[in-house]
Amino acid sequence: MGKVSSENISNNREIPLSIRSEWQDIVNIVTELEEVKATLILKITEDFLEILFSSQNNDNPYKAGEKQKLEDDIYFTPVIKDKSELIIADALSHERWHDSINANKGMISCICLPINHYKGESFGELCILDDKVNTFSKLHIHLLKYLRELIQYQLNNVVFNKALVPDSNSNSVAIISKDIPHFMHLCSFCRRIKDKNSNWILMEEFFSRYIDIYFSHGICDSCLEKHYGYLFKKNKESKKEE
C-alpha cells in the first residue's frame, strides 16, 4: 500500500466549514442523480477507512463516522492498495465479490474512485453503492470523476494551507511571501499568473503558494444548470414515467 497522506487531516473538523458543506452537497446530489443507495467520501487511517461524509438519504445503510477495517473482502480495499478505480455492476455474479461484506450488506454494485494527495499519496476514496444491478453510464462515471478531481483539488489546498498558515492560537501574523512582485503578468485567456521563475500557474495556486488564502471550488447554480442541467431533467422525466 502506498504512503498515506491523510495524517495531515486527522478529522473532518480540520476541513474548513465551507468545504465540508460542499462535500456533503456532493454526496447528496450524486445519490439523487445516480438514484443509488449511498455515496461516500472515505479517509484512510492506518488499517481503517473512516466515512467522512455519507449521503443523507434515509435508506443509506452507511453513516458518517463509521470505520471499516481494510480487509480483502470489501470493495474499498483494492482501490486503496492499487490506487485504481473499481466498478462492479453485479457483485452477486462476480466470483470475488459475491460473498463480500458489502454484498452481504445488500450493496451489489458500486463505483469507487481513489482520492490522492498531490504527491500521489493515498487519502481515501469517493464511492457510490447500490442495492441493484447497475451498469453505470459513461456520462455518470465522467461526472463522478469530475467531482473526485474537485475534491482532490480542495483537499490539497487544505493540506497546503495547514502547513503554511500559523496556529490560530499563536501570536504569528499571516504568512505573505516577500517573493510576490508588485507587478504581475496575467494571461488574458486562461487567467494564469507568471511567477518569479517564469512559470505560468493557476491563479488559485499562486495565492495558495504566496499568501495564506485558498479557494474552495464549487459549481454555481448557473453553471450547474448549463453543464449538468440535462441530467436533472432526465432524472425528473424518468421519475414521471414511473
In this predicted model, what pLDDT tens digit does every residue of 24-73 receive, in sequence order? 999 999 999 889 999 999 999 878 889 999 999 999 999 999 998 888 78
Average pLDDT over residues 188-207: 79
pLDDT attached to residue 118:
67
Q: Is the per-residue pLDDT at 3 higher than 50? A: no
Q: Within a domain: residue 121?
A: yes
Q: Classify residue 26: in a domain, yes or no.
A: yes
- The structural domain count of the chain equals 1
Cβ 111 vs Cβ 148: under 8 Å: no
pTM of the model: 0.67
Does the structure show a pLDDT above 50 at 85?
A: yes
Q: Has residue 241 been placed in a domain?
A: no
In a domain, 211, yes or no: no
**Alpha carbon distance 150, 225 (integer Å):** 18
Q: Which residue has the cell 457483485?
A: 91
**Could you tell me which residue, 237 or 142, shows the higher pLDDT?**
142
What average pLDDT does the structure give for the chain?
80
CB 111 within 8 Å of CB 85:
yes
Query: What is the rounded CA–CA span in Å between residue 110 and residue 141?
Result: 11
CB-facing half-sphere around the CA of 229: CA atoms within 13 A = 8
Average pLDDT of the residues in 222-230: 77
d(CA 207, CA 176): 9
238 domain residue, yes or no: no
Close Cβ partners of 89 (under 8 Å, ≥ 6 residues apart): 109, 133, 134, 135, 136
Provide the pLDDT for residue 117.
78
Residue 196 lies inside a defined structural domain of this protein: no
CATH number at residue 90: 3.30.450.40
Q: Is 194 domain-assigned?
A: no
Query: What is the CB-side half-sphere exposure of residue 80 using CA atoms within 13 A?
Result: 28
Is it the case that residue 236 has pLDDT exceeding 50?
A: yes
What are the two backbone dihedrals, phi and then psi, of residue 236, each rounded to the nearest 5 degrees? -65, -40
pLDDT at 71: 80
pLDDT in tens, 8-37: 555 555 677 878 888 999 999 999 988 999
Query: Based on the number of CB atoms within 10 Å of its own CB, is 2 exposed (0-12), middle (13-18) or buried (19 or more)?
Result: middle
pLDDT in tens, 118-162: 667 889 999 999 999 999 998 889 989 999 988 888 887 776 565
Domain that holds residue 49: 6-163
